[in-house]
Structure 1
Amino acid sequence: MARVIGGISTSHIPSIGKAIENNLQETEYWQPFFKNFPGIHAWLEQEKPDVAVVFYNDHGLEFFLDKKPTFAIGAAASYMNADEGWGIPTIPAIPGDPEFSWHICNHLVESEFDITICQEMKVDHGLTVPMQLMWPNNSYSHMKVIPVCLNVEQHPMPSPKRCYNLGKAIGEAIDSYDKDLKVVVLGTGGLSHQLDGERAGYINKEFDLYCMDKLISDPDELSKLTIHDLIANGGAQGPEFIMWMGMRGALNGELNVLQSDYHAPISNTGAGTMLIENK
């Protein structure tokens, strides 16, 4: 049977892609962020997952404000990205796993989740930056990826509890898949940040560290938060934390935190990085 071997959380801001392109990882500004990934690379090399389920949000490449599904899941054989206007170079196609995706989609619908199933789907920096961080030099061709896109751009947005339960249902679907596969789950985005308005540049380190702690020790407590709580405490873009809640929901074993790091600011963002083993 398929099984979730662990979860990884990371920021996905587009400037990370520019830093990778320009080989800035060891510069004074970027080194405190990139130094957190060699341990993750070593773990991925050791565990050799077959599939990555990636919780992310689309920033207008595939879904714009005129059509914004609450939950969208890719069921394509491969995923391409395109020029988003950030100056980030496109990366090679990311392999998909349609059969596994359809299994998850069927389970979610049976579990009364309303999802948009995408047999063609462009993926933006919300997914491509984490792929570059986890598998440097675009070395992900051996991986299959299942994109899980959550709406954090247009209200109404799904609550932390709803996304946590979505992750649980995806974890159940993975456990019931009858192929021997190792699955790693990625929660991307955030943490606290606000890109515009009166609070532009806002970062709340205390709240970020609280969320990182409770994510492991008491996710049910985090499920009590509303989207407005995330905005009030984490800035207008703070709701990206719901992707972390989806990732956490899919982890249903005994958890062992192998790595937990926080650095701010990176492009006016509080960046958290976690590596969580799911025993």
Structure 2
Amino acid sequence: MARITAGVGCSHVPLLGVAHDQGKDRDAYFAPIFEGFDWTREWEKQEKPDVVILVYNDHASAFDMKIIPTFAIGCGESYKPADEGWGPRPVPDVPGHPDLAWHVAQSLILDEFDMTIINEMEVDHGLTVPLTMMFGDVAEWPVKVIPLAVNVVTYPPPSGNRCWALGEAIARAVASFPEDLNVQVWGTGGMSHQLQGPRAGLINKEWDNDFLDGLVGDTDRLRRVPHIEYLRETGSEGIEMVMWLIMRGALGKRTTAIHRHYHVPCSNTAIGHIVLRPDNGESLDTRGGSAASDAPLTA
């Protein structure tokens, strides 16, 4: 059967895509950011995931005020990079996995989640930047991708509890798929940042790192953090972090962190990144993955 072997949390700041595309990722400003993903790129080469369920938010590329799905799952064959105003990113088209995507969609809907099914859409930096951070320059992406778009742009976004529960339902869906697949779930967006108004540039390092701490172990306290706390402590765009809770919910009761990276600043945001294993008491070293002792945690 298919199995979820890891979860990845990752900021998706558009500037990182620009820096990479212009060959500036090892410049003095960007090097400390990208170096935090070097470990993960090597790890992904060992892991060789078949499919990534990539949780992200669209930035008015595929959706606008005419239609605002709370949760939308891509079931198409492939997805082209979106033109976000300066032309599409020079990265490969994103290959989908329709068989698993339709299975997950069916399972989620029968599990009483009202999913919007998308067969054609373009994907913006919310999805392509994490792929770049994990895989670098490639002629084609080495993994199939199931996009899962979450509304965190227009009020009301889903609660942290609903996102965590969706992750749990995704885990049930993947486990019931008969094909032998190595599946990862990625939660993207955040961390603390505000792009406008008197608090533009807000970054809360203490809160961000406490959030990263809350993804590890057997605590589920993050699923009960209210929207107002995200707004107060992390800025108007910090609500993107609820998407990481879908990833965390999909990993089961307990997790172990095998890599962690946090850096300020990147543009006017904080960069967060974490790699988690589901910890069910068995060996965590699947497909050559590193044990926790191989990856010192840094924040």
Asked if these proteins are the same fold (TM beyond 0.5), I'd say: yes
Do 1:82 and 1:90's aligned partners in 2 also have CA atoms closer than 8 Å?
no
SS in 1 for 2:259: strand
1:59-116 CA distance string (max 9 Å, x none): 0000012211000000000011221015662422111011100100011011100110
- Aligned pair in 2 of structure 1 residues 89, 142: CA closer, same or farther (>3 Å)? closer
Do 1:18 and 1:88's aligned partners in 2 also have CA atoms closer than 8 Å?
no
1:168-221 CA distance string (max 9 Å, x none): 111111111100000111111110000001100000001001100011135521
SS in 1 for 2:39: helix
1:254, 1:176 → 2: CA distance? 20
Residue 78 of structure 1 corresponds to: 78
Alpha-carbon deviation of 1:36? 0.9
Residue 16 of structure 2 corresponds to: 16
Residue 205 of structure 1 corresponds to: 205
Alpha-carbon deviation of 1:122? 1.2
Q: What value does the CA root-mean-square deviation take over the aligned residues?
A: 1.4
1:35-55 CA distance string (max 9 Å, x none): 011111111111111001100
Residue 169 of structure 1 corresponds to: 169
The alignment status of 1:37 with 2:37, answered yes or no, reads: yes
1:43-192 alignment runs, 5 A limit: 43-86=43-86, 89-192=89-192
1:212, 1:254 → 2: CA distance? 14
SS in 1 for 2:49: coil
Kindly provide the amino acid, as one letter, of the partner of residue 220 in structure 2: D
For normalisation by structure 2, the TM-score amounts to: 0.90
1:195, 1:139 → 2: CA distance? 33
- Aligned pair in 2 of structure 1 residues 116, 221: CA closer, same or farther (>3 Å)? same
Matched residue count: 279
Do 1:194 and 1:235's aligned partners in 2 also have CA atoms closer than 8 Å?
yes
Residue 260 of structure 1 corresponds to: 260
Alpha-carbon deviation of 1:276? 1.2
For normalisation by structure 1, the TM-score amounts to: 0.96
Aligned identity (percent) is 44
1:16-42 CA distance string (max 9 Å, x none): 011001111211111111001111111
1:30, 1:79 → 2: CA distance? 28
